[in-house]
């Protein structure tokens, strides 16, 4: 039995990884492939039976996994960011979410026949989107900046708020089913809030005073979260999820605690837990579904897609700066994600133990909503955006990895040519200098999951890996080659050809065209700039073409970019030598004037 259990868990781990990889490959939310894999393994083939596989450990394991997922999600809610997200987003995550909850509850009650208490729980779970489903969809949808920012911020903010909302509804149902009074419910909520706040304060104190060594901080944080969950449940039954949610919100808003490395660890851990959890939970679905659930789930999805989301989004965006076309697309796009699936499955397990009528229908209904919204919206949103004329044209913006003087100079030249440029680096001093130059920036690693969720790549279609760290440049090239295409990622070399050795070269699949030519390196570029070379942009004409430019500025000038008559950006590289034509705008690294050079000599 131990061998079988170990083999099955390993198989689930491999399948979860394969689903995540496939989602990355085709740029669709991973939750779709995880749920489909679980359905194939469970109800369809019968290969996996989670209740027999895990037995009495199923509920505790799912509870702990959901606690960690909620903590990681709630840490991303920063109150200071709420002030700058605009009226439309505030409406979508407040009264728009309440309107969606009420309408979804009504649909679940009158269409699917759920009792009102389960219907309200379904409404609380069904009104939540999230960055894990929104961000991959935006990459293929490519709407204009206002729509992309609105949908992205809605997913980020409503993810933890929706979890908190659902937990409160669940606590109310459990208190009612166990015959508890309103005072007991208030005590449950109060216990969760108090334990969460105390746990966050204690953890922040330990981290701020460096009483936990850095290499143990991730381990210590996970232990603290699970400890708060267990203690809160021991004091007041079913209050643990609320405690970890509050704990994450408090920790995430403490400015005196550095949590970036903890966030990275929790993101990786959440990816692992989500991959295992969703396959297991989907495998628990029973086939055939409860009476009326197949048709009821389809009808509830149609109501959510064609009535609930349009009405709530239209109401939430009244008075905003969005036009009717932008509001129409926002009213169509609202895929459901991780919180809805994970929390609904955990709640269903507990409610089935309490024999709450209709609890067995909660998970099929939520999963029907998730699968329906992801499939339908992924297949139709791009065409709808084009029809509404709110889709971005072919992405011609540039992602510049690196914030040193060389990268900033190149980024500034592209911005001056009216391209969208995003400078990203985990070097704070360089990012701050880029901001002072008026460049759009993102602080963090461009290959992290945090960047996947929060970095706005709308209109970005190329990568220039220009940091001083050779290995990270290669990692960025590999990461964004699937995103932008093999021919649209470039790397500025850190070593000259004569300095490179076979043992130090990367494998061929990590290579990208050498930016600005085979012999240009980061060190040489920086040295030239220190000697007075400058980046110059010039429009070529019939009377002043490229040979005239070279004659005036010198044959040693380095052509960096060419911009065609229709505004298409062309990048000079080892695989593409540009031949500028009249009508082009050229961006060139030119030497200082001769008299200046002589004075320096």
Q: Is the pLDDT of residue 450 over 80?
A: no
Looking at residue 377, its pLDDT comes to 87
Looking at residue 107, its pLDDT comes to 92
Residues 455, 442 contacting (CB under 8 angstroms): yes
Looking at residue 498, its pLDDT comes to 54
Looking at residue 491, its pLDDT comes to 87
Looking at residue 104, its pLDDT comes to 92
Beta strand pairing status for 440-443 and 421-425? parallel
**CA 249 to centroid of chain Cα atoms:** 18
As to burial, measured by CB atoms within 10 angstroms (0-12 exposed, 13-18 middle, 19+ buried), residue 505 is: exposed
Q: Higher-confidence residue: 387 or 27?
A: 387
Residues 142, 392 contacting (CB under 8 angstroms): yes
Looking at residue 530, its pLDDT comes to 87
Out of 60-64, 124-128, 579-583, pick the least confident: 60-64
Q: Is the pLDDT of residue 560 over 90?
A: no
Q: Is the pLDDT of residue 362 over 90?
A: no
* Domain range list for the chain: 2-388, 397-600
Q: How confident is the model at residue 106 (pLDDT cuts 50, 70, 90)?
A: very high
Average pLDDT over every residue of 498-526: 67
How far is Cα 154 from Cα 93, in angstroms, rounded to an integer? Answer: 6
Sheet hosting strand 440-443, strand order edge to edge: 440-443, 421-425, 397-401, 460-465, 489-491
Looking at residue 447, its pLDDT comes to 81
Q: Is the pLDDT of residue 573 over 80?
A: yes
Q: Is the pLDDT of residue 122 over 70?
A: yes
Q: Is the pLDDT of residue 341 over 90?
A: no
Residue-wise pLDDT tens digits, 185-225: 677 778 888 898 998 899 888 888 888 888 888 888 889 88
Q: Which helix (H) or strand (E) holds 468?
A: none
Q: Higher-confidence residue: 118 or 258?
A: 118
Q: Is the pLDDT of residue 533 over 80?
A: yes
What percent of the chain stands above pLDDT 70? 88
Looking at residue 287, its pLDDT comes to 66
CATH assignment of 2-388, among 1.20.1530.20, 1.20.1340.10, 1.10.238.10, 3.40.50.10490: 1.20.1530.20
Tell me the range of 41-50, 247-256, 258-267, 366-375 where mean pLDDT is highest: 366-375
CA-based nearest residue to 121, from 101, 148, 137: 101
Out of 142-156, 311-325, 424-438, 499-513, pick the least confident: 499-513
How far is Cα 564 from Cα 202, in angstroms, rounded to an integer? Answer: 59
Residue 300 in tokens:
């509830």
Residues 101, 158 contacting (CB under 8 angstroms): no
Q: How confident is the model at residue 507 (pLDDT cuts 50, 70, 90)?
A: very low
Instruction: Say how many C-beta atoms besides its own lie within 10 A of residue 213's C-beta.
Output: 8
Q: How confident is the model at residue 65 (pLDDT cuts 50, 70, 90)?
A: confident
Residue-wise pLDDT tens digits, 224-250: 888 988 888 888 766 787 788 888 888
Residues 105, 120 contacting (CB under 8 angstroms): yes
How far is Cα 508 from Cα 376, in angstroms, rounded to an integer? Answer: 39
Residue 122 in tokens:
């379904």
Out of 78-92, 318-332, 432-446, pick the least confident: 78-92
How far is Cα 493 from Cα 523, in angstroms, rounded to an integer? Answer: 9
Looking at residue 84, its pLDDT comes to 52
Query: Mean pLDDT for the chain?
Result: 80
Tell me the range of 73-82, 165-174, 178-187, 384-393 where mean pLDDT is highest: 384-393
How far is Cα 469 from Cα 466, in angstroms, rounded to an integer? Answer: 8
Q: How confident is the model at residue 302 (pLDDT cuts 50, 70, 90)?
A: very high
Domains 2-388 and 397-600 share a fold: no
Q: Is the pLDDT of residue 599 over 50?
A: no
Question: Does residue 189 have a cis peptide bond before it, meaning omega lies within 30 degrees of 0?
Answer: no
Domain 397-600: CATH architecture, name and number where available = 3-Layer(aba) Sandwich (3.40)
What is the DSSP track for 182-214?
HHHHHHHHHHHHHHHHHHHHHHHHHHHTT-S-H
Q: How confident is the model at residue 503 (pLDDT cuts 50, 70, 90)?
A: very low
How far is Cα 408 from Cα 426, in angstroms, rounded to an integer? Answer: 14
In a 3-state reduction of DSSP, which class is residue 479?
A: helix
């Amino acid at each position: 039995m131990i061998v079988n259990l170990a083999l099955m868990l390993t198989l689930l781990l491999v399948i979860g990884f394969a689903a995540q990889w496939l989602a990355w490959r085709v740029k669709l939310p991973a939750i779709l492939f995880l749920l489909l894999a679980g359905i194939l393994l469970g109800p369809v083939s019968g290969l996996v039976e989670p209740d027999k596989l895990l037995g009495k450990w199923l509920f505790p394991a799912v509870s702990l996994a959901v606690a960690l997922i909620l903590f990681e999600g709630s840490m991303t809610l920063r109150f200071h960011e709420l002030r700058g997200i605009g009226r439309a987003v505030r409406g979508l995550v407040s009264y728009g979410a309440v309107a969606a909850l009420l309408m979804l509850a009504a649909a679940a009650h009158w269409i699917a026949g759920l009792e009102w208490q389960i219907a309200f729980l379904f409404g609380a779970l069904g009104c939540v989107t999230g960055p894990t489903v929104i961000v991959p969809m935006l990459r293929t949808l490519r709407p204009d900046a206002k729509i992309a920012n609105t949908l992205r911020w809605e997913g980020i903010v409503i993810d933890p708020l929706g979890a908190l909302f659902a937990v409160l509804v669940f606590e109310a149902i459990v208190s009612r089913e166990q015959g508890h009074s309103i005072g007991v419910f208030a005590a449950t909520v109060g216990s969760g809030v108090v334990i969460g706040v105390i746990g966050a304060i204690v953890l922040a104190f330990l981290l701020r005073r460096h009483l936990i060594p850095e290499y143990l901080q991730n381990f210590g944080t996970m232990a603290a979260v699970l400890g708060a969950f267990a203690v809160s449940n021991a004091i007041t039954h079913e209050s643990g999820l609320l405690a970890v949610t509050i704990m994450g919100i408090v920790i995430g808003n403490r400015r005196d605690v550095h949590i970036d490395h903890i966030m990275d660890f929790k993101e990786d851990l959440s990816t692992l837990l989500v991959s295992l959890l969703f396959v297991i939970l989907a495998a628990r679905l029973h086939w055939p579904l409860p009476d009326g659930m197949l048709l009821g789930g389809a009808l509830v999805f149609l109501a959510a897609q064609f009535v609930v989301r349009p009405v709530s989004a239209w109401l939430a965006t009244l008075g905003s700066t969005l036009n009717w076309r932008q509001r129409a697309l926002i009213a169509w796009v609202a895929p459901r994600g991780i919180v809805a699936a994970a929390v609904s499955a955990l709640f269903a397990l507990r409610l089935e133990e309490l024999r709450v009528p209709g609890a067995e229908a909660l998970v099929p209904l939520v999963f029907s909503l998730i699968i329906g919204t992801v499939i339908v919206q992924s297949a139709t949103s791009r065409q709808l955006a084009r029809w509404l004329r709110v889709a971005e044209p072919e992405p011609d913006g540039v992602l510049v990895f690196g914030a040193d003087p060389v990268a900033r100079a190149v980024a500034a030249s592209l911005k001056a040519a009216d391209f969208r440029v995003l400078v990203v680096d985990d070097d704070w001093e360089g990012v701050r200098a880029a901001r002072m130059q008026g460049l759009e920036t993102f602080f963090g690693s461009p290959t992290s999951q945090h960047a996947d969720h929060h970095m706005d790549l709308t209109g970005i279609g190329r990568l220039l890996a220009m940091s001083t760290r050779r290995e990270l440049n290669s990692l960025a090239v590999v990461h964004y080659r699937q995103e932008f295409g093999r021919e649209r990622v470039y790397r500025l070399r850190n070593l000259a050809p004569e300095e490179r050795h076979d043992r130090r070269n990367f494998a061929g699949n990590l290579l990208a065209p050498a930016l600005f030519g085979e012999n240009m390196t980061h060190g040489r570029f920086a040295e030239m700039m220190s000697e007075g070379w400058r980046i110059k942009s010039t429009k070529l004409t019939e009377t002043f073409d490229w040979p005239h430019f070279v004659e005036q500025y010198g044959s040693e000038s380095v052509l960096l970019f060419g911009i065609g008559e229709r505004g298409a950006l062309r990048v000079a590289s080892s695989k593409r030598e540009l031949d500028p034509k009249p009508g082009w705008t050229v961006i060139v690294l030119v030497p200082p004037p001769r008299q200046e050079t002589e004075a320096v000599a």
